[in-house]
Amino acid sequence: MIESAETLELLTSRVDGLERRIHALEALANSAASPQQSARELEAKLESRLDCIIEKKLDSRMEPAAVTPPPAMEPQAAEEQAGAVFPVLGKAVFGIAGAYLLRALAESAALSREALAGVAIAYALAWLVGAARASATRKMAGTIYAATSAMILAPMLWELTLHFDVLPATLTAVVLAGYVAVATALCWKHEQSPLLWVSYSTASLTALSLSIASRQTVPFSALLLAMVILCEYIGRRNLGRGVRMIVAGAADVALTALIFIYSGPAGSRADYPALGTIALVAPACVLLLTSCMSIGIQTVLLKESIRPFDAFQAMIAFFLAAFSLVFFLPDSGTLVLGIACLILAVLCYAASLGLFRNSPLQRNFHVYAAWSAGLLLLGSFCTLPPVWSSSLLAIAALAAVFLGDRIGSMALEFHGVVFIAVASLNEMLNYALQALAGEMPFRPTMSVLAVSACAMLCYFAGKERVGEAWQQQVLHLVPALLAVFAAAALLAQGIVRLLALAMTPDVYLVALIRSLTVCAIALGLAWGGSRWERLEMTRIAYAALAFMGAKLLFEDLRLGHMQFIAASLILFAMTLIGVPRLARTRRRNP
């Protein structure tokens, strides 16, 4: 478009110039008393010439530009490029030969092994420096030299630590840390991805292998944690983001091995040194803190979408920290874990609802919301007794459903349904099953009453609307089912308790009262679902029919009292006829 505008301006200027020349020629012809025909012929020629120029210019602009293919590499140049690889490989082989020479000198004891260890470390670092210099001009040569440095350093440290006993585990970890520091300094100003990949991968895998083989887990775990923190920092500078996966994976495996080894019986780790509680708990907590800070900076401060690897790594770090607290702090670890979970749940809820709910970064909202729900569940069970935790979850469910319905958040409503379902599984469902099909309980506990009331309120807090998806219908169906289950159990027990004031009801009468309760609940649900246009009530009415059929088979018929069986069958038959009719009834307008 820019070129077309420039072309039009050029043509316009040329047309103006030609018009001026034509007018000048006409004036000259008139002053010289020349015939008008010659002037007109000259004007026609000029106009035709101008039209030809314009057509040629426009045609040249409208034709697509010819794509010039890249020049093919000449056979001689390709041969030179392939031949340049062999000298580089030759130098690398010379480097490995030098490493074998140092190994032979160490076995012959011709020189001090400590001095040879220093020479070998300096030799590996020299190849790393050479790799950085070569990468500035030839990337392939830098990669090969970096691989040579790794092949020199890793076996050499293995031999010096395990075979010759020259380097203690702590000093070996320091050497690997220096190797990583040199590699980071060489790549700080200019990104050299192969050098970072080779050096960090070599250091992390060597540290992991030596931590298992040397039975010294603390120094190498500390090194891996330091590398994880360093990777998070250099990742902000777009240096070696991919290598974070290898370093983090090595740290996860090392800490898993640490927890597994030291959580077992003391006799199974006789070869391992004794460690204190701080040395056992701190590594996993540091890893979790690093992941949390990295994700917080990435999502909250930098306004970036959370990466799947970061979310997965944060969950691994959380489970490692949780296991370390539970295993190595048996007295207070569970309580500390629960309090930490509740604090993190509050922070995650604040971030998901306050920062990410209306932002385009919906992945952040869903990830933070899922974490907050899981943390609240775990924190409630770790900090409170089962009775109090059920009540807390029931209240949280009611708040989540009410708030989710008001602000239109389906995720928050889902959390409320999960909370009330988990709270019901703890005690209320067992009470309802006993009241409707087992031995009648004496009285409901305060936890059962609280969960039942919250289940009913959760159901009435949200109303199913026309055209909702099946996911939203399930969100209304689950609290409705729990509320009906609790109401039927409380009603059945209430009737039995009232009869007990005047007489002692036997098992046949209790079974009949249960049948009457279930049938009445089914008919009431069918009528209410039709009148108030609540589809979930109608569905639960048909589910109550199925429950009544199973109850007749496994309770009433098993007891064998004919009069009560006949009464239960009559109630069931009337309910089978009445539920479909009531469900088809529509609310009449007044």
pLDDT digits (tens, 9 = 90+) for 377-426: 999 999 998 889 999 999 999 999 888 888 888 888 899 999 999 999 88
pLDDT the model gives residue 1: 46
Q: Which of 218, 310, 223 is nearest to 258 (CA)?
A: 218
Residue with tokens 């246009």: 533
pLDDT the model gives residue 308: 92
Q: Which of 55, 44, 56 is nearest to 18 (CA)?
A: 44
pLDDT the model gives residue 49: 59
Higher pLDDT, 589 or 221: 221
Sign of CA dihedral 408, 409, 412, 414: positive
Give me 499's structure tokens.
Answer: 């009869």
Give me 76's structure tokens.
Answer: 């001689």
Q: Which of 43, 186, 40 is nearest to 125 (CA)?
A: 186
d(CA 459, CA 456): 5
Report DSSP state, residue 547. Answer: H
Mean pLDDT across the chain, nearest whole number? 83
pLDDT the model gives residue 45: 57
Percent of the chain with pLDDT over 90: 42
pLDDT the model gives residue 27: 58
Q: What type of residue is 167? A: L
CA angle in degrees (0–180, nearest 5) for 515-517-518: 65
Confidence band for 3, pLDDT divided at 50, 70 and 90: very low
Q: Does position 161 have pLDDT exceeding 80, yes or no?
A: yes
| 18-22, 175-179, 208-212, 515-519: range with lowest mean pLDDT | 18-22
Average pLDDT over residues 420-441: 88
Question: Do 568 and 552 meet the contact criterion of CB atoms below 8 Å apart?
Answer: yes
Q: Does position 322 have pLDDT exceeding 90, yes or no?
A: yes
d(CA 7, CA 62): 12
Give me 530's structure tokens.
Answer: 């039709």
pLDDT the model gives residue 40: 57
Cα atoms in the 13 Å half-sphere on the side-chain side of 244: 23
Query: 216-220, long-range: CB within 8 Å, 24+ apart, which pairs?
Result: 216/169, 216/170, 216/273, 217/254, 217/257, 217/258, 217/261, 217/272, 217/275, 218/275, 218/279, 219/169, 219/170, 219/172, 219/173, 220/169, 220/173, 220/254
Q: What type of residue is 512? A: L
Question: Do 115 and 105 meet the contact criterion of CB atoms below 8 Å apart?
Answer: no
Q: Where are the alpha helices (DSSP H) in 274-385?
A: 277-296, 308-328, 333-351, 362-383
Beta-carbon count within 10 A of 150 CB: 22
Q: What is the CA radius of gyration of the chain?
A: 41
d(CA 297, CA 118): 40
Q: Does position 65 have pLDDT exceeding 60, yes or no?
A: no
Phi/psi at 241 (5° precision): -65, -35
Average pLDDT over residues 275-303: 93
Confidence band for 337, pLDDT divided at 50, 70 and 90: very high
Average pLDDT over residues 130-154: 82
Question: Do 567 and 512 meet the contact criterion of CB atoms below 8 Å apart?
Answer: yes
Question: Do 319 and 287 meet the contact criterion of CB atoms below 8 Å apart?
Answer: no
Average pLDDT over residues 528-550: 88
Average pLDDT over residues 76-105: 69
| 25-34, 134-143, 485-494: range with lowest mean pLDDT | 25-34
Average pLDDT over residues 139-163: 87
Please provide the size of the chain in residues.
Answer: 590
Q: Which of 433, 421, 372, 369 is nearest to 394 (CA)?
A: 421
d(CA 57, CA 34): 35
Beta-carbon count within 10 A of 234 CB: 20
Higher pLDDT, 49 or 101: 101
Q: Does position 130 have pLDDT exceeding 70, yes or no?
A: yes
Q: What type of residue is 168? A: P
Residue with tokens 């920290």: 321
* Beta carbons within 8 Å of 371's beta carbon, 6+ residues apart: 344, 345, 348
Confidence band for 506, pLDDT divided at 50, 70 and 90: confident
Residue with tokens 């120029």: 53
Q: Which of 356, 367, 355, 345 is nearest to 419 (CA)?
A: 345
Give me 381's structure tokens.
Answer: 């069970």
pLDDT the model gives residue 278: 93
pLDDT by residue (tens digit) across 342-384? 999 999 999 998 888 888 888 999 999 999 999 999 999 999 9
pLDDT by residue (tens digit) across 245-278? 999 999 999 999 999 999 988 888 888 898 999 9
* Beta carbons within 8 Å of 338's beta carbon, 6+ residues apart: 378, 379, 380, 381, 382, 383, 384
Higher pLDDT, 141 or 392: 392
**What is the torsion angle, in degrees rounded to the nearest 10, for the CA atoms of residue 490, residue 494, residue 500 and residue 505?**
-60
Higher pLDDT, 71 or 523: 523
- Beta strands (DSSP E) in 449-565 are none
Q: Does position 143 have pLDDT exceeding 60, yes or no?
A: yes
Q: Does position 574 have pLDDT exceeding 90, yes or no?
A: yes
pLDDT by residue (tens digit) across 439-483? 888 788 888 999 999 999 988 876 666 667 777 788 888 898 999
d(CA 138, CA 81): 11
Sign of CA dihedral 455, 458, 460, 466: negative
